[in-house]
Amino acid sequence: MTIRDDSALDGNAIGGLLLEVFGTEMTAAVAVCASCGASGPVAETVVFLRAPGTVVRCRSCGAVLMVVLRRGQQNCVDLQGLAALELR
Amino acid sequence: MAGTAVRGRLTWQVATVETVRDETASVRTIGLAVPDWAGHTAGQHLDVRLTAEDGYSAERSYSIASAPGEPVAITVERLDDGEVSPYLTEELRSGDEIEIRGPIGGYFIWTGDDAATPLLLVAGGSGVVPFRSIIRHRHNLGSDVSVRLLYSARSLPDVIYRAELDDAGDGVAVIFTLTRQQPPGWTGHSGRVDQRLLAETAWPAHQDPLTFVCGPTPFVEAMASGLVELGYPAGRIKTERYGGAEAP
């Protein structure tokens, strides 16, 4: 499944959120998809800000890589769709 | 080193509006005084947070328009159905305060280190904003890296930074295409960037250009796949998508 959604952003748009969650710059980190094995910079992932929470999908297969839900002052982070996240 | 880690954390801070300048009828550049600014790299962005009296808040990301070392500035395009941009482009006055955090991003950046190969910048509409930072940074560095900026805008009055781009200096070629309306006597390109125009304006792939593409999502997708078709390796094409704004 490739995603054709004109409202989709990319991983650049969540640089601030990921900095908040991980405490370091993450858009240049390499994300490896647990579903298809594709790897590429977080900046090149497909991002939906208006889903319930922030949803990050694989540009190759469309699988969900990450979900970040904000609850009050807390962020709940689901990274199940990632095989690896390699900081550069 | 605990102190270092804490300082590295990104926090919201209050910035004061120093200057506002209308670039086009719907685009405004906002100069900000940020007391605790860590310094930015060309291509980075910052987040703006507006909070209503009832506590509702909205955040948006805006590319930084100024070069590293210059006072922080963002250029904002008003989206008529937007929650944040109408306020920033219509209400905001010099002396007002807004909450920001940044600088943000380590991928869609140009430091000037990769100067051995030419630079291709492809902008759709307000996607030109980070390229202003890159072109100014190149100038400030005294870099002689060759730059081509292919800029697609709806009409001449919609071109952002027009005077500055017309005077971009040696080694920077700006190629405009106007998609909706061309003034009488227009000798530049017309219509959307198609494969022919891309092939005509992009550096030959064998020169190993470093490429940045920024604009509305459909524009970026079309440009990135067009460049891959021209033989550009995907790893040399950096992209930034603004979402569903109408293609310029």
User: Which of A7, A12, A24 minimises the CB distance to B105?
Assistant: A12
For an interface test with A, give the residue of B4, B49, B104 to mutate (most A CBs within 10 A).
Answer: B104
Q: Does A62 have pLDDT greater than 80?
A: yes
Interval A32-57 mean pLDDT:
95
Q: Do A10 and B216 touch (CB under 8 A)?
A: no
Q: Which of B104, B135, B153 is the last residue of a domain?
A: B104
Q: Chain B partners of A41 at a C-beta cutoff of 8 Å?
A: 107
What is the domain partition of chain A in residue ranges? 9-86
Judge whether B62 lies within some domain: yes
- Are B181 and B86 within one domain? no
Output the DSSP codes for B162-225: HHHHHT--TTEEEEEEESS---TT--SEESS--HHHHHHHSPPGGG--EEEEEESHHHHHHHHH
- Are B218 and B140 within one domain? yes
> How many domains does one find in chain B?
2
Q: Chain B partners of A5 at a C-beta cutoff of 8 Å?
A: 217
Q: Does B229 have pLDDT greater than 50?
A: yes
- Are B136 and B78 within one domain? no
| pLDDT number for residue B6 | 45
What band does B10 get if pLDDT is binned at 50, 70 and 90?
confident
Residue of A nearest to B241 (CA): A9
- Are B99 and B182 within one domain? no
Judge whether B123 lies within some domain: yes
Q: Does B1 have pLDDT greater than 70?
A: no
pTM of the model: 0.94
- Are B75 and B175 within one domain? no
Distance CA A82, CA A63 (A): 10
B166-171, long-range: CB < 8 A, 24+ apart: B168/B135, B169/B139, B171/B144, B171/B145, B171/B146, B171/B147
pLDDT for B55-114, tens place per residue? Answer: 888 999 999 999 999 999 999 999 988 889 999 999 999 999 999 999 999 999 999 987
pLDDT for B165-207, tens place per residue? Answer: 999 989 999 999 999 999 999 999 999 999 999 999 999 999 9
pLDDT for A43-54, tens place per residue? Answer: 999 999 977 899
| pLDDT number for residue B206 | 96
The residue range of the domain holding B65 is 2-104
What is residue B129's DSSP assignment?
H
Query: What is the CATH number for B163?
Result: 3.40.50.80
Judge whether B113 lies within some domain: no
Q: Do A8 and B10 touch (CB under 8 A)?
A: no
Query: What is the CATH number for B43?
Result: 2.40.30.10
